Amino acid sequence: MTKHRVGLFIPCYVDQFYPQVGIATLELLEKFGCEVVYPPNQTCCGQPMANSGFEHLTTGCNDLFIKNFSEFDYIVAPSGSCVLHIKEHLHGSDIPKKMYELVEFLTDVLKVDSLEASFPYKVGLHQSCHGQRGLGLAQMSELMAPPFSKPQQLLDLVKGIELINLDRVDECCGFGGTFCVAEEAVSVKMGKDRVADHIHHGAEVITGADMSCLMHLEGILRRQKSDVRVKHIAEILNSQIKA
């Protein structure tokens, strides 16, 4: 197996609030034979500012990103929206060509076809918009085109997992970056509706490839005192690595 040397990019909010997702990502990549390097001076991809109209303030972030990651042949991040942002808005570097979201890296580059993972729960898969429509991680319901889903492809390899159906398979969760506070009422209503869809179909765990969506849904679930948990797909794919 070729040993891929991977630069690991951990989104700012994952770094600060969900380190276990970063850990799971790292362990998963090492498990598949990658040499994983985490440049310590990374911060953020710049998306929160750019999406708020302040693209012109992202040169600091961009320069830092280029400085930290240029050397790698592969840069992997457990976040569809961050990866999409880099691919679309980082200029003056070949990093966009080398940037991968975790799921697509596993399916397209490492070509993972089996997993030693066990997660015996009813799981709802949330298709995060940027990963799905932007990176093409899964077919979108708007298009008249053959279905496919890279996250589901990987989850189907996990023993004991039961994936539930949803009424709306790819409706946005409502996080949307600063939208989550600037349009708080609509953002929360969108999140509540997503949560209700999953609960209606019996989900015990909601997963996806973007922790920002899951953070938003988790906030609503915990406010509702629900037993339903959120877990990033990296954590599920990596489950049972440690006893």
Stretch that binds other proteins, among 12-20, 69-77, 147-155, 198-206 (CB under 8 A): 12-20
Using CB under 8 A, pick the residue from 83, 110, 215, 236 that binds other proteins.
215
Stretch that binds other proteins, among 43-51, 108-116, 146-154, 235-243 (CB under 8 A): 43-51
Instruction: Report how far Cα 224 is from the mean position of its chain's Cα atoms.
Output: 24
Helix, strand, coil shares of the chain, percent, nearest 5, are 45, 15, 40
171 binds other proteins (CB under 8 A): yes
CB of 73 to other proteins, least distance (A): 20
Instruction: Report how far Cα 239 is from the mean position of its chain's Cα atoms.
Output: 16
12 binds other proteins (CB under 8 A): yes
Hey, which residues between 44 and 63 contact other proteins (CB under 8 A)?
Answer: 44, 46, 48-58, 60-61, 63
Contact 104, 137 (CB under 8 A): yes
Token pair 């997992």 is at which residue? 161
193 binds other proteins (CB under 8 A): yes
CA distance 134 to 87: 10
CB of 228 to other proteins, least distance (A): 13
Nearer to other proteins among residue 85 and residue 150 (C-beta)? 85
How many C-beta atoms surround the C-beta of residue 51 within 10 A?
A: 16
Stretch that binds other proteins, among 39-47, 90-98, 117-125, 156-164 (CB under 8 A): 39-47
Hey, which residues between 172 and 191 contact other proteins (CB under 8 A)?
Answer: 172, 174-177, 179-191
Using CB under 8 A, pick the residue from 31, 64, 109, 157 that binds other proteins.
64
Token pair 């799905």 is at which residue? 132
CB of 111 to other proteins, least distance (A): 26
Size of the residue set binding other proteins (CB under 8 A): 74
Using CB under 8 A, pick the residue from 1, 2, 16, 227 that binds other proteins.
16
87 binds other proteins (CB under 8 A): no
Nearer to other proteins among residue 76 and residue 161 (C-beta)? 76
Hey, which residues between 98 and 157 contact other proteins (CB under 8 A)?
Answer: 129-130, 133-134, 140-145
CA distances 111 to 73, 115, 160, 181, 198, Å, are 17, 11, 22, 39, 29
Q: What is the residue type of 84?
A: L
Instruction: Report how far Cα 220 is from the mean position of its chain's Cα atoms.
Output: 19
DSSP H or E segment with residue 47: helix 47-51
CA distances 176 to 29, 97, 126, 184, 215, Å, are 28, 25, 14, 11, 12
